[in-house]
Structure 1
Amino acid sequence: MKPPKPAPRADRVSLWRYLQLFRADILSAQPARLYRAWMAEFRTPFFRSYLCNDPALVRRVLTERPDTFPKSDRIGEGLRPLLGQSVFLTNGALWKRQRRIIDPAFEGGRLRDTFAAMLAAGQAAAARLTPGTVEIEAEASHAAADVIFRTLFSIPIDHAVAQAVFARFRDYQRTQPILNLAAFVPLPRWMPRLHRRRTLTAAREIRALIAGLTAERAAAIAAGTAPDDLATKIMTATDPETGEGFDTAEMVDQVAIFFLAGHETSASALAWALYLLATHPQAQARAAAEAAAFVAEPAFGNLRRLGFTRDVFREALRLYPPVPMMVRETVQPERFRDREVAPGAQVVISPWHLHRHERIWDDPDGFDPDRWSREATRACARDGYLPFSAGPRVCPGAGFAMAEGPLLLALILARWQLAPEGPPPVPVAHLTVRARDGIRLRLTPRGQGGAAP
């Protein structure tokens, strides 16, 4: 059974129709040929855009010369009301300063410090589930938000402020398209960005709640009573070059992106992984066997025993990368595959296409966790696997996510058997890759062999 993907549009439609499709859903707006092309050029009246699937071009943009391909403000326009000047949107010296402060909090040795909070959130998520039909995207979002609040601020999701942020973020996610008008039309800085009123209201309320949490933590740090969690680590970290750290206002921007990246992307990947296991019973049985052994002794060191479960999560990230496209901009003349590219062009690196590219992957649309144990996959992954981006801008929380995902899968599978319910979900791009009408699964207790309740 092939995992579902949107039906790609015909190779030729009018520009106006393409823009309509692109704004409604970036995935189904793409022509079929992009799954086999090394590069494609798109022209609008205002700018040119180049989709780069050629591995050499991807490496040039993300790894070899990232400073000459900064993040495009066209994408940032839609996210700035929530994220402000967060590390996700900035470029140049400001971005480098932010990463120097943030990166140490996510170094390998720090992961062990967050394990107990991750485990508690996963156990709570598995216990919250009930027999019958469940909309699993909502449950995955709840679980991922719980992980973030426990690891970042040492509070569970049922804390009043955490609940409020989670609820308002859901409103934001539902009203914010991945692109707004400024992505297509070069609006002057003084012109309003035409965000939906509900989007602006939700962003304002989320930031106010985060500001309250951050101010409280700053006071606790000053009093010497703050817990040793991620928020404390980041708020007490300093730039090794200047000795300065984040002030409270800057920290609000960073917490906003930690919540977006750590909750929204993890929820997307977890939900699709659960769906893939529900539709592939043999893979589910193998992962459930690993899960049963793990929950018998759920220690940090035993995460390494979840090898097949980790490969399931890797495969879910390949088929449904939470961030489907990344957009950079040229600042100087370039030459892409014998084509001259002018400054100001948009350069699109698309994990969605790279991860399913017919010239990179064997059986690109198939669900095959075992591919990750084959030597041939090393080359495929090197050329076409970017769930966390690559180069200097690789996600600092990649290691965090690769521990969280298999852990939550194992804790859920140990208690519950999964089966698909209703029509196959259709992936669409909102802030991340989600199902157009949700993902419905039928849950039954696994029984004595699976440590079910």
Structure 2
Amino acid sequence: MKPPKPEARADKVSLWRYLRLFRQDILSAQPARLYRAWMAEFRTPFFRSYLINQPELIREVLNARPMEFPKSSRVGEGLRPLLGNSVFLTNGETWLRQRRIIDPAFEGGRLRETFPAMLAAGKAAVERLRARQGDVEIEEMASHAAADVIFRTLFSIPIEHEIAARVFREFRTYQRTQPILNLAAFLPVPRWMPRLHRGRTIRAAKSIRHLITQLTTDRMWAIEAGAPPNDLATKILSTPDPQTGLLFETDEMVDQVAIFFLAGHETSASALGWALYLLALHPEAQERVAEEAAALGDAIHFGDLSRLRFTRDVFRETLRLYPPVPMMVRETTKPERFRDRDLPKRAQVVISPWHLHRHERIWERPDDFDPDRFQTTEGRECMRDAYIPFSAGKRVCVGAGFAMAEGVLLLALLVRAFRFERIEGAEPVPVAYLTVRAKNGIRLRVSERVSSGTAPTPATASAERV
């Protein structure tokens, strides 16, 4: 059974019809020809947009000349109420300064240092799911687990912490009410005019930022007192810009924490939910993951992640079929010429991992789930040329290694402990909210695995399973 894919628009529609379709779902609003095109042009009365699928052009934009193709300000129209001036939205010198401060927190041994907190979150996710079993909404479970990872690694607090729990609840509201781009991204709205955000979105964003400010202020006090936890927040708040010697101010740190939560929680939750669904569709692959994870034994260490080779390929294939961020928008800073087309200054250049990862002229059986493809010569070539779930070049996601470790670990822990089965008639429909999610969630039947003939009791479950 093929994984679900939105039904693409087959014919031309008016601009206003397209905007309505786009507002509902960015994926199904796009024409089917984008799965074969190397480049496509989209015209509005206000700007030109060019989607590029040709690997050479993508490398030109992301790798060769990234500073000449900054992030489009139109992306910020939808996300700025929550993200402010975060590293996800900034360009130029501001972005370079932010990355100089943030990057050291994710370098070298820092991932190894965060692994115990990541593992604790995974164990907690197993215990929560053990109490629920049966018909489970997987996206909700995955969101809970991913948020727990972020709070434990960033602020050394579990998801049960009062502020962490409140941020999680507010973010669920934000995630379901905020599309990737809002209508102001398409229209010439002056800066002084309202940005056409939904009221619930604005309220949720304000609440989240208020709560993150509390956590950030408390951590700054702990740093000044000389006894802060050794976590990512402490590392980032304590790292000066090597060129200026300046630290992040509170407001700047709130912006960065907001994007860490969005990128590190929302995207990971999206990928984990789809990975479990894909394994439910393919029981033979699920058993291979379960066997690989079971071979690790009771004590799991950071180095053990390298033994989860097939699990890693399952997660890679999930990111190919359901890249959490389906589209990225850059902007030309001067006239360009791509594939014999003239792009004016300030044209939008759209790079779509969703279409690139399923491109019919690049990938063999692009809509099939095949984790083993990455062990073939052709698969490795495609991965090098047309696989960008974390973007690429200078603006590659700073937490890409963190996300891969988290995804592989959580997937292994959950599949080792439980069996996931599809529910007839409950097939999810992919849509793009902030990330690629299922329109009405992902429901799976969950049952505990039994390795010795009898189910473990709650008292022994933790020792036996995680």
Q: What is the CA distance between 1:182 and its match in structure 2?
A: 1.3
CA distance in 1, matches of 2:155, 2:179: 29
CA distance in 2, matches of 1:296, 1:184: 53
Alignment of 1:290-369 (within 5 A): 290-369=292-371
- Conserved 8 A contact 1:87-1:99: yes
The match for 2:208 is: 206
Alignment of 1:65-144 (within 5 A): 65-129=65-129, 130-144=132-146
Moved more, 237-246 or 142-151: 237-246
The SS at the match of 2:109 is helix
The match for 1:433 is: 436
CA distance in 2, matches of 1:79, 1:234: 22
- Residue deviations 1:105-146 (CA, integer Å, cap 9, x gap): 001311000000000000110111122000000000000000
Paired residue type of 1:436: K
Moved more, 123-132 or 39-48: 123-132
The SS at the match of 2:191 is coil
The match for 1:219 is: 221
The match for 2:427 is: 424
| Cα distance change of structure 1 residues 232 and 9 upon mapping to structure 2, 3 Å threshold | same
The match for 2:184 is: 182
CA distance in 2, matches of 1:131, 1:141: 17
The match for 1:286 is: 288
The match for 2:57 is: 57
The SS at the match of 1:396 is coil
CA distance in 1, matches of 2:61, 2:133: 48
Q: What is the CA distance between 1:449 and its match in structure 2?
A: 5.2
Paired residue type of 1:118: M
The SS at the match of 1:315 is helix
Moved more, 373-382 or 360-369: 373-382
The SS at the match of 1:296 is coil
- Conserved 8 A contact 1:23-1:178: no
The SS at the match of 1:448 is coil
Q: What is the CA distance between 1:295 and its match in structure 2?
A: 4.3
- Conserved 8 A contact 2:374-2:383: no
Paired residue type of 1:15: L
The match for 1:386 is: 388
CA distance in 1, matches of 2:154, 2:315: 23
The SS at the match of 2:295 is helix
CA distance in 1, matches of 2:154, 2:141: 20
The match for 1:445 is: 448
Paired residue type of 2:8: P
Paired residue type of 2:440: D
Q: Give the structure-1-normalised TM-score.
A: 0.98
CA distance in 2, matches of 1:449, 1:432: 40
Paired residue type of 2:189: L
Paired residue type of 1:301: G
- Residue deviations 1:18-77 (CA, integer Å, cap 9, x gap): 111112100001111100100000001111100000111101111111111110111111
Q: Give the structure-2-normalised TM-score.
A: 0.96
Q: What is the CA distance between 1:294 and its match in structure 2?
A: 2.1
Q: What is the CA distance between 1:378 and its match in structure 2?
A: 1.9
Q: What is the CA distance between 1:418 and its match in structure 2?
A: 0.7
Q: Which of 266, 275, 278 matches 1:276? A: 278
- Residue deviations 1:144-192 (CA, integer Å, cap 9, x gap): 0000000000000000000000000111111112221211102111111
CA distance in 1, matches of 2:209, 2:17: 36
CA distance in 2, matches of 1:336, 1:449: 61
Paired residue type of 2:242: P
Unpaired runs of at least 5, structure 1: none
- Conserved 8 A contact 1:108-1:399: no
- Conserved 8 A contact 2:71-2:89: yes
- Conserved 8 A contact 1:151-1:230: yes
| Cα distance change of structure 1 residues 247 and 57 upon mapping to structure 2, 3 Å threshold | same
Q: What is the CA distance between 1:232 and its match in structure 2?
A: 0.2
Q: Identical aligned pairs, as a percentage?
A: 72
The match for 1:238 is: 240
Unpaired runs of at least 5, structure 2: 462-466
The SS at the match of 1:340 is strand
- Conserved 8 A contact 1:36-1:358: yes
The SS at the match of 1:262 is helix
The SS at the match of 2:296 is helix
- Residue deviations 1:282-315 (CA, integer Å, cap 9, x gap): 0000000011122433111111111100000000
CA distance in 1, matches of 2:416, 2:357: 29
